[in-house]
Amino acid sequence: MPAPTYWDYLHLPELLHCQGGLDGSPSPDELHFIIVHQTYELWFKLVLTQLRLARDHLAAPHLPEERVPFVVHHLGRVNAILRLCVDQFAVMETLPPQDFLEFRDKLTPSSGFQSFQLREVEMLLGLTMERRIKYAGTDPIEHIRSQATTDSGRAVVAQLEATMAETSLRDALISWLGRTPIMGSSPGTEGDEAVVNAFLAAYLARVEAHQREGGEQLVKVLGGTDADKIHARVEMALGGVRGFLLPDGAEERRARAALLFIESYRHLPLLAWPRLLLDTVVELEEQMVLFRHRHARMVERTIGRRVGSGGSSGVEYLDQTTSYRIFPELWNVRSCLLPRERLPELTGEGRYAFA
Ligand code: HEM
């Protein structure tokens, strides 16, 4: 067998022959357009692999402490790729608006809207069909289905449906949070619900006192102006805190209590990695929002406010998608946190020490 070569190992001859576009002879600007898109799709492929690896660890019925760093590792790689993807729009922006118009019409109605891999990323993260923003009444997945009239299209739809049936990172994360010991108590053990409720009640009382004190201080330094408005704002924020910490469902309540517990007592040795894991997920969501936002600004710079080649309202639709939050709990918990010296007294501390 001949020695392996760089070009055969990477299948470069095949890879470098996939930039022909629709007619096999793209202009230099169109070649630029194609290559930028293709590199994104390669990154999306890697993102999907890493998300599945992270999800598989988290979805296991038991996640040993020593495996949490692997989840952080895979998600950290996703974040590094997404940061690059955000920056990469600068390369796309070297295409002047008028030069794009030279070949834009022949692409219609194809669009990044049909990027099935980005849809898979969204599904694997946990964006549900109900929460998707529709454009002109069309759901993005339905849109792909309606356009999938060839063999390649049918393969794309099959791939999307298989991904849709997988456990999402969100579901795996919430179920892992639900299993986290709180104040030394694990789910399924006697008195666990009472421990969780007592922790939440003690925490809530302290948050109320802390945030009301903060409001009073603000009124004082502002010289008493707008006191009523500030008090009303504090009470409204506290209403949000109560709604978040005391949801009706017991499972939801336990998962949120775990989130609060991990964020609050992160100095405990066994909570250090879980807290890092949560932060990595927050960063992932932040990068997704930045990606959507950066794409929308690049689009606005290139085509202005015209209708998208896929038929959406263009920038207006894209800006709406920046409101997606797949992990709202991880953001909401930040409104509830207390400084360390005001935390409820810890019980069961020994459970969180190194063995
Ligand atoms: C000149 C360059 C580009 C323009 C003018 C553009 C424009 C648009 C527009 C208007 C949409 C909304 C759907 C529609 O009506 O077509 C869209 C969606 C999308 N584009 Fe681009 N795009 C460009 C480059 C890119 C690149 C480089 C990527 C990289 C992957 C990308 C990925 C996407 C994705 C994933 C969507 C779907 C967003 C969603 O529905 O959440 N686009 N694009």
Q: What is the pLDDT of residues 310-343, one digit of tens each?
A: 888 899 999 999 999 999 999 999 999 999 999 9
**Selection from 314, 318, 319, 290 nearest residue 87 by Cα:** 290
User: Ligand 1 center to residue 236 CA distance, Å?
Assistant: 38
CA distances from 250 to 196, 306, 329, 341 (A): 10, 48, 15, 28
Q: Detail the DSSP E strand segments found in 179-268.
A: none
Q: Whose CA is nearest to atom 34 of ligand 1?
A: 112
Instruction: Give the model's pLDDT for residue 256.
Output: 98
Dihedrals phi, psi of 332, to nearest 5 degrees: -65, -35
What is the C-alpha to C-alpha distance for residues 319 and 321, in angstroms, rounded to an integer? 5
Instruction: Give the model's pLDDT for residue 285.
Output: 98
Name 355's bridge partners. Answer: none
Instruction: Give the model's pLDDT for residue 264.
Output: 98
Residue type, 266: R
What is the C-alpha to C-alpha distance for residues 325 and 268, in angstroms, rounded to an integer? 29
Query: Average pLDDT in the 193-202 region?
Result: 97
User: Ligand 1 center to residue 50 CA distance, Å?
Assistant: 23
Task: Tell me if 5 is assigned to some domain.
Answer: no
Helix (H) or strand (E) holding 294: helix 272-303
Mean pLDDT of all residues in the chain? 95
* CATH (domain of 41): 1.20.58.480
**pLDDT grade for 250, boundaries at 50, 70 and 90:** very high
What is the C-alpha to C-alpha distance for residues 336 and 330, in angstroms, rounded to an integer? 11
Task: Tell me if 50 is assigned to some domain.
Answer: yes
Instruction: Give the model's pLDDT for residue 236.
Output: 98
User: What is the span of the domain harbouring residue 197?
Assistant: 12-352
Q: How many domains does the chain have?
A: 1
Name 182's bridge partners. Answer: 185
**pLDDT grade for 55, boundaries at 50, 70 and 90:** very high
Instruction: Verify whether ligand 1 is closer than 6 Å to residue 312 (CB atom).
Output: yes
Dihedrals phi, psi of 115, to nearest 5 degrees: -70, 95
Query: Average pLDDT in the 175-198 region?
Result: 96
Q: Whose CA is nearest to atom 6 of ligand 1?
A: 299
Query: Average pLDDT in the 12-18 region?
Result: 98
Task: Tell me if 6 is assigned to some domain.
Answer: no
Half-sphere exposure of 230 (CA within 13 A, CB side): 17
User: Ligand 1 center to residue 305 CA distance, Å?
Assistant: 13
pTM, two decimal places: 0.96
Task: Decide if 335 contacts 240 (C-beta within 8 A).
Answer: yes
Task: Decide if 48 contacts 117 (C-beta within 8 A).
Answer: yes
**Selection from 345, 292, 2, 9 nearest residue 127 by Cα:** 292
Instruction: Verify whether ligand 1 is closer than 6 Å to residue 184 (CB atom).
Output: no
**pLDDT grade for 162, boundaries at 50, 70 and 90:** very high
Q: Whose CA is nearest to atom 27 of ligand 1?
A: 37
Dihedrals phi, psi of 5, to nearest 5 degrees: -110, 160
**Selection from 186, 342, 332 nearest residue 245 by Cα:** 332
Q: Is 122 exposed, middle or buried (0-12, 13-18, 19+ CB in 10 A)?
A: buried
Mutation test of ligand 1: which of 82, 121, 318, 326 has the most ligand atoms closer than 8 Å to its C-beta? 318
Name 185's bridge partners. Answer: 182
Task: Tell me if 1 is assigned to some domain.
Answer: no
Q: What is the pLDDT of residues 25-34, one digit of tens each?
A: 999 999 999 9
Instruction: Verify whether ligand 1 is closer than 6 Å to residue 322 (CB atom).
Output: no
Task: Decide if 237 contacts 335 (C-beta within 8 A).
Answer: yes
Instruction: Give the model's pLDDT for residue 316.
Output: 95
Task: Tell me if 104 is assigned to some domain.
Answer: yes
User: Ligand 1 center to residue 307 CA distance, Å?
Assistant: 12
Instruction: Give the model's pLDDT for residue 223.
Output: 84
Is the pLDDT at 139 greater than 90, yes or no?
Answer: no
CA distances from 148 to 52, 86, 120, 179, 232 (A): 25, 29, 16, 41, 53
User: Ligand 1 center to residue 24 CA distance, Å?
Assistant: 22
What is the C-alpha to C-alpha distance for residues 34 and 27, in angstroms, rounded to an integer? 10
User: Ligand 1 center to residue 52 CA distance, Å?
Assistant: 25
Query: Average pLDDT in the 250-262 region?
Result: 97
Query: Average pLDDT in the 135-159 region?
Result: 89
What is the C-alpha to C-alpha distance for residues 306 and 67, in angstroms, rounded to an integer? 49
**pLDDT grade for 140, boundaries at 50, 70 and 90:** confident
Q: Whose CA is nearest to atom 23 of ligand 1?
A: 299
Using the atom order of ligand 1, give the atom closest to the CA of residue 315: 10
Instruction: Give the model's pLDDT for residue 100.
Output: 97
CA distances from 90 to 36, 86, 98, 297, 354 (A): 10, 8, 17, 10, 46
Q: What is the pLDDT of residues 207-228, one digit of tens each?
A: 999 999 999 999 999 987 789 9
User: Ligand 1 center to residue 309 CA distance, Å?
Assistant: 9
Task: Tell me if 4 is assigned to some domain.
Answer: no
